[in-house]
C-alpha cells in the first residue's frame, strides 16, 4: 500500500489576510472638494453659455417682433409698404439707442408692437432734463432723415410706394413730437418747459375726439399717470435740480424741436399722395 502523497492531500494554505485600512480623512475631503469643484465648473460653463446666448435671444426677440409687425402691416398695406414702414420704425428707435449710448446708458434692442410702433428699454434717460430731451429728439431726427431718404428714390423710380413711405415717415415723426410724455415731444419739453405737457395733453384730447383711436386713448392714460408722477416728484423737491437746464441748452432744444416740426410739415405737404377712387 502506497503511502499517501503529502502534496496532494494537504489542504491549501489560507489566503493571506490583508488588513484594509480606511483612507485618510484628508483624502476623502479632497475627493469631495474635487467633485464639488467639478460640479461648480460645469455650472459656470453652462452659465457662461447662457450669458453668451442672451444677446442672441435679444436679437431674436427684435427679429421676431419685427417679423410679426411686418406680417400685420403687410396684411393691410402689402408687403412692400409693410417692410418699408418697419424699417422706418427701426431707424427711429435706433436714434434713441444711439443717443442713450452717447449718454453712457445701456439700452435694450427695439421691441416691435404691431400698430403701436416699437419700444426700447433703459434704466434712465439721462442725468438731467437736457439729456432726456436729446434722447427724445434723437429718434425723430434719425427717423425724419430715413423718411427723407425715400424722396430721391421716389424721384428716381417714379414708384409711389416710396412717396407713401416718405409721407408716412414724416407723419409718424411729427405725431411723436406732440408735447406729452411718453412721446418724444414730451421728452423735449422736459428741458424746455414741462408746463407744455398740459398743452400737449389738451391737443391729444382734441385729436382723440376728432379722430377716435385706441392709440390716442392709451397715450392719454399713460401720459396722464406719468405727468402726475413727475409733478408729485417736482412738488416734493425730489427731482428739482433735474429740470434746471441752462438757457443756451434750452434754446438749442427749442431750435431743434421747432425746426423738426417745420421740416416735417413741409415734407408731408410735398409728399402728400391724393387718394383716388377707381
Which position has the higher pLDDT, 129 or 124?
A: 129
Relative orientation angle of helices 184-192 and 247-271, to the nearest 10 degrees: 150
DSSP 55-67: HHHHHHHHHHHHH
- Under a CB-based contact definition with an 8 Å cutoff, are residues 118 and 93 in contact? yes
Instruction: Report yes or no on 65 lying in a domain.
Output: yes
**What per-residue confidence (pLDDT) applies to 152?**
96
For residue 182, give the DSSP letter: T
What does the pLDDT look like over 160-189, one tens digit per residue? 999 999 999 999 999 999 998 889 999 999
Whether residue 142 lies inside any domain: the answer is yes
Average pLDDT on 79-95 reads 94
Maximum average pLDDT range among 41-45, 145-149, 183-187, 239-243: 145-149
User: Does residue 12 form part of some domain?
Assistant: no
If one compares 37 and 110, the residue with the highest pLDDT of the two is 110
Q: Is residue 30 part of a domain?
A: no
Q: Is 181 part of a structural domain of the chain?
A: yes
Domain-located, residue 32: no
Q: Domain for residue 261, yes or no?
A: yes
Residue 39: inside a domain, yes or no?
no
For residue 213, the enclosing domain spans: 52-271
> Does the structure show a pLDDT above 70 at 28?
no
Residues 152 and 105: beta-carbon distance below 8 Å: no
Task: Name the H helices within the chain.
Answer: 6-9, 25-77, 79-102, 129-148, 150-157, 160-175, 184-192, 196-210, 214-235, 247-271
- Is pLDDT above 80 for 142? yes
Q: Which residue has the cell 449718454?
A: 103
217-264 pLDDT tens trace: 888 888 888 878 877 777 776 666 777 889 999 999 999 999 999 999
The pLDDT score that the predictor gives to residue 7 is 40
More confident residue, 256 or 12: 256
Structural domains of the chain, count: 1
Amino acid at each position: 500500500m502506497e503511502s499517501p502523497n503529502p502534496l496532494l492531500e494537504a489542504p491549501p494554505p489560507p489566503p493571506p489576510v490583508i488588513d484594509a485600512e480606511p483612507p485618510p480623512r484628508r483624502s476623502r475631503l479632497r475627493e469631495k472638494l474635487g467633485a464639488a469643484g467639478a460640479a461648480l465648473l460645469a455650472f459656470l460653463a453652462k452659465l457662461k453659455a447662457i450669458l453668451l446666448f442672451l444677446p442672441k435671444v435679444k436679437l431674436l426677440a427684435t427679429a421676431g417682433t419685427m417679423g410679426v409687425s411686418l406680417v400685420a402691416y403687410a396684411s393691410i398695406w402689402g408687403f412692400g409698404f409693410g417692410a418699408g414702414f418697419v424699417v422706418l420704425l427701426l431707424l427711429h428707435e435706433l436714434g434713441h439707442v444711439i443717443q442713450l449710448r452717447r449718454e453712457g446708458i445701456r439700452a435694450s434692442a427695439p421691441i416691435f408692437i404691431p400698430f403701436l410702433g416699437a419700444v426700447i428699454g433703459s434704466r434712465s434717460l439721462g442725468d438731467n432734463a437736457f439729456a432726456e430731451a436729446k434722447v427724445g429728439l434723437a429718434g425723430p431726427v434719425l427717423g425724419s432723415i430715413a423718411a427723407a431718404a425715400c424722396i430721391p428714390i421716389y424721384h428716381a423710380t417714379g414708384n409711389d410706394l416710396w412717396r407713401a413711405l416718405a409721407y408716412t415717415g414724416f407723419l409718424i415723426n411729427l405725431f411723436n413730437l406732440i408735447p406729452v410724455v411718453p412721446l418724444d415731444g414730451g421728452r423735449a419739453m422736459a428741458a424746455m418747459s414741462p408746463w407744455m405737457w398740459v398743452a400737449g395733453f389738451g391737443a391729444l384730447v382734441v385729436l382723440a375726439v376728432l379722430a377716435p383711436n385706441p392709440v390716442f386713448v392709451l397715450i392719454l392714460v399713460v401720459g396722464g399717470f406719468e405727468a402726475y408722477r413727475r409733478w408729485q416728484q417736482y412738488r416734493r423737491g425730489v427731482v428739482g435740480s433735474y429740470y434746471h437746464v441752462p438757457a443756451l441748452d434750452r434754446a438749442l432744444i427749442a431750435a431743434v424741436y421747432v425746426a423738426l416740426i417745420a421740416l416735417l410739415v413741409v415734407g408731408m405737404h410735398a409728399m402728400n399722395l391724393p387718394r383716388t377712387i377707381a
